[in-house]
Amino acid sequence: MIVTWKALFWLIHILGLTLWLGSSLGALLIWPHPQSQEKKQNVIAIVHTLRSLVARGSFFGGLLVAISGTSLSLILQPKSELASLWLTTMQGLGVIAFILAFFVLPRVERTIFVQESPPRNEFDRAQNKYRNLVRIIVLLLLLCLLMAAFKPQ
């Protein structure tokens, strides 16, 4: 069995997207509710752990997706397929998700963990902003998957 470059890049692309989407979605599913009666220190520890999960999964998965997606676009034959609506929409949504995950999310993350013990209302506000940003990234990635699933044959 001979593995082509295209097949290898597709595998890397799918693995990266799975890692990126899975870590972000998994963190959202177990994120503590802001109005929970949990002790503040417990919530901070949980959010810190989830933030590191999202950061590692997003960065590594996002890099795999970006590198393999760019490589797939460069080796795509014929080149006229690059202008198809589903592909350009998927690439555009992926670029937006990439920018949010790599440039906006770390800035919001720094506002959460700048202070050792931030006041509860500031922490909750920053935590909600971070969680909503991760939600937007997850929705963009799901839209990318939807575009790929229903592409014309």
Share of the chain above pLDDT 70, in %: 90
Helices (H) and strands (E) in the chain, counts: 5, 0
What pLDDT score does 134 carry? 93
The residue among 116, 128, 109 whose CA lies nearest residue 54 is: 109
Query: pTM score, two decimals?
Result: 0.87
State whether residue 119 is helix, strand or coil. coil
Dist CA 23 CA 63 (whole Å)? 14
Q: Which are the contacts of 83, defined by CB distance < 8 A and separation ≥ 6?
A: none
Q: What is the mean pLDDT of residues 25-48?
A: 79
Say which residue, 39 or 145, is predicted with more confidence. 145
Cα 99 from chain centroid (whole Å): 10
